[in-house]
Amino acid sequence: MKERQVDFVSPASYNPEAGFLPYRRYLVDWLSDVGEQFRLHTSTVHVSVLYLDKIFRSVSIPRNQWQLFATACLSIAAKYEEAEEHCPPIPDLLSLTKLTSAGHNSLSFREGEVQVLKHLGWRLRAFPAIHVIGYYLSKGVCFEDDIWQGRDMIEKIPRYVKKYAEFFCNLTLQNYQFQQYLPTQLAAAILLASRVALQLEPQWRPELVHLTGYEDREIVDIFRHVWAYYEEQFPGHGSRSISPRSVTDASF
């Protein structure tokens, strides 16, 4: 995973001057809405955004084709990430996204998918931070001797950590600046942010170093970036403990 993650996200491919960036937040929110309408996994939307970023940061796509390319990225991500029966049918995609009103049909949409595949070099295995977080969570990121807000651990804390981690993954997806970090680094920083948000002590442990491959000093700057963006988007939340329910219900 560490070797393949650079196919889509790395400091070398980060392009803060890409022309589409002023509109990227709109595209990400729009893809998230479409994915939610079709009940796709959140990770599928994240993969589609990596596809879109890779294309748009390196190729000049006419504005009148952005919606077609974005929808094609989501469709391809669904075919790669989801079970076949969960993949949105093209006619339904065209209808929901109103691409039919723009003159597109199933044939032109498939041509759009082919263009996306060619721009991606037919390499579709992407590792967004949310994939890495899923791996970390499956291995266990809470421990019996953790201290929660000065008290012993309780059974629901791992679920709270999961909610926070997914929240931070969705939050950082919105801002292209987080594409300058490797997904494994960002995921480790998000895990640290989740433990800090819940006031878990110690904030970082040898077991987490072994799991993620990162010492706290290697991810602390990324954690600070995540936390600063969190406080910018939700003023005051970072300075106090808030319930995972309020995190889950937060709208962007």
pLDDT recorded at residue 154: 85
Determine the Cα–Cα distance for residues 126 and 130; give it in Å rounded to an integer.
11
Structural domains of the chain sorted by starting position, each given as residue range(s) with its CATH number in brackets: 7-119 (1.10.472.10), 129-248 (1.10.472.10)
Cβ(116)–Cβ(69) below 8 Å: yes
Lowest mean pLDDT among 50-64, 115-129, 193-207, 227-241: 227-241
Return the residue matching tokens 């949310």.
130
- The pLDDT of 186-192, averaged and rounded, is 96
Distance of alpha carbon 126 from alpha carbon 182, whole angstroms: 12
**Residue 181 or residue 102, greater confidence:** 181
Tell me the average pLDDT of the chain.
88
Integer angstrom CA distances of residue 185 from 130, 211, 222: 12, 12, 8
Under the banding of pLDDT at 50, 70 and 90, the label for residue 180 is: very high
> 224 near 148, Cβ under 8 Å?
no
Backbone angles phi, psi at 240, to 5 degrees: -145, 160
**What is the per-residue pLDDT across 31-45, written as a single tens digit (0 to 9) for each?**
999 999 999 999 999
Please give the pLDDT value at position 5: 66
Top pLDDT among 66 and 3 is at: 66
Residues 6 or more apart from 113 whose CB is under 8 A from it?
72, 75, 76
pLDDT over 70, % of the chain: 91
